[in-house]
Structure 1
Amino acid sequence: MSYTLFIGNKNTDAWSMGPWVLMKQAGIAFNEQPVRSDATESLELKKALRAVTPLGKLPVLVDPSLGSNPSIWDSLAMCEYLAEVHPELNLWPTDRTARARARSLCAEMHAGFQEMRAMCPMNIDARLPSIGERLIHKNNAFCEDLNRLVNMWQTQLKLSGGPMLFGQFSIADAYFVSMCMRIRTYALPVSPPVQAYISRILALPSVAEWIAKAEQDADFFIHETPSLQA
């Protein structure tokens, strides 16, 4: 089986980071196809991507074994597909109750935390503590998102006993890794158990590899970032 994963810039593409980290950490082989996604090349980007997905957005996973329609788009759909195709890897928790909770947390990440994602876009190469401090003091919706995230992680780590959200590394950890990067970049305040969890995430070989490559890419576009324009 030969997967191809189309991803954006490693410094900024949060949605691509999750499936990439999941596949690397789980030992699922794939060909990486980076696609530059800044605004000046948006037409070329959409043209290239629409050859493999109707949305023209990243990331996209291509599995030739699917025949004439080999593409899976949307990061959560990719994770679900990989868990189905590779049941031996236990990408979701094996316990049914834990698995249901893990799916719920990932779905909440997929649909929620919109203020935090908008105001603190992923920018791995940067350190922007002043922006984080300003948001903490002036943006109530942002603070609600951050508090929910911290409480979610802290509660789940207590339930599972760690070291990852559900004990062993799973889709849930891969799905939230971009939030770990935001907390680091913007120096957002979190509890000691959550900070320890973030440190463990950053130490994973797959995450360390992504970060190293992100620091080489290091593209960031201020016009796309509301918090940097204030």
Structure 2
Amino acid sequence: MDALTLYIANKNYSSWSFRPWIALTAFDVPFEEVLIPFDMPAGNPRFAEISPTSKVPALHHGRLRVWESLAIIEYVAELYPEKQFWPEDPGDRAMARAISMEMISGFRGLRNACPMNMRRPRAALDLNADTAKAVADDVKRITTIWREMRERSGGPFLFGAFSAADAMYAPVVNRFDVFDITVDDDARAYMDAMKATPAWQSWETAAKAESWFVPEDEA
């Protein structure tokens, strides 16, 4: 099999890079990592060389190019079915994909107000009323998803064992943490389980060691 090459951007900031990276790493899939840093505000022209969208992440497998985080995870899951990226039960698998797609299409309030930032000192933002409500609505929906999935599965992750769905929600754990967003004990337990994984800790260590800096209002 041709080697897999995963192109990512800054580990401190790139939430979409984090998702396939933590999935492949957690499931012990061999791949080469190539990091192309953001060159704000114009973006790095090298992105156009590796992806038709001029964005990361992108996966190269021989001559094949796969872009978009969930598409990358799905492709690698099909290459390595024995790794069981998705829950074995068909109903659970359908729900895992549904909440993964919800992450892609939703939660704009949280994304816009609270960008991923592994190095950020923990502190809440002073948000205007409209933005604060949008963030609060997203937090309520996300924590509801976490609680319902973990109640069904028994935890510690959304579907018992770590899955692709957990990878899709990994950046949210950082957002809740560094922006000091108030969550209940169940959500905190899930966040602690995620942050305890070796894959998370490896990414976080590398992110905090990076020298690149992007102002918070640009990240």
The bucket for the TM-score relative to the shorter chain is: over 0.9
Question: Unaligned regions of 5+ residues in structure 2, if any?
Answer: none
Quote the offset at 1:52 in angstroms: 2.4
| Rounded Cα–Cα distance in structure 2 between residues aligned with 1:74 and 1:8 | 13
Give 1:173-192 correspondences, 5 Å limit: 173-192=166-185
- 1:136/1:190 CA distance change after superposition, 3 Å: farther
> Identical aligned pairs, as a percentage?
31
- 1:125 maps to 119
Quote the offset at 1:97 in angstroms: 0.1
Q: Determine whether 1:194 maps to 2:187.
A: yes
Q: Hey, which of these two has a bigger chunk of helix by percent?
A: 1
Quote the offset at 1:106 in angstroms: 0.2
CA-based RMSD of the aligned residues comes to 1.7
| Rounded Cα–Cα distance in structure 1 between residues aligned with 2:171 and 2:210 | 16
CA contact (8 A) 1:10 1:213 kept: yes
- 1:170 maps to 163
| Rounded Cα–Cα distance in structure 1 between residues aligned with 2:169 and 2:22 | 11
- 1:22 maps to 23
State the TM-score, normalized to the length of structure 2: 0.94
Quote the offset at 1:127 in angstroms: 2.0
CA contact (8 A) 1:38 1:221 kept: no
CA contact (8 A) 2:109 2:134 kept: yes
Quote the offset at 1:220 in angstroms: 2.7
- 2:90 maps to 96
- Aligned-partner residue type, residue 86 of structure 1: Y
- Aligned-partner residue type, residue 48 of structure 2: R
- 1:173/1:23 CA distance change after superposition, 3 Å: same
- 1:145/1:53 CA distance change after superposition, 3 Å: same
- 1:165/1:56 CA distance change after superposition, 3 Å: same
| Rounded Cα–Cα distance in structure 2 between residues aligned with 1:192 and 1:137 | 26
State the TM-score, normalized to the length of structure 1: 0.89
In structure 2, the residue corresponding to 1:130 is in which secondary structure?
A: coil
- 1:97/1:116 CA distance change after superposition, 3 Å: same
Deviates more, 1:122-131 or 1:2-11: 122-131
Quote the offset at 1:135 in angstroms: 6.5
Give 1:98-113 correspondences, 5 Å limit: 98-113=92-107
- 1:136/1:61 CA distance change after superposition, 3 Å: farther
- 1:4 maps to 5
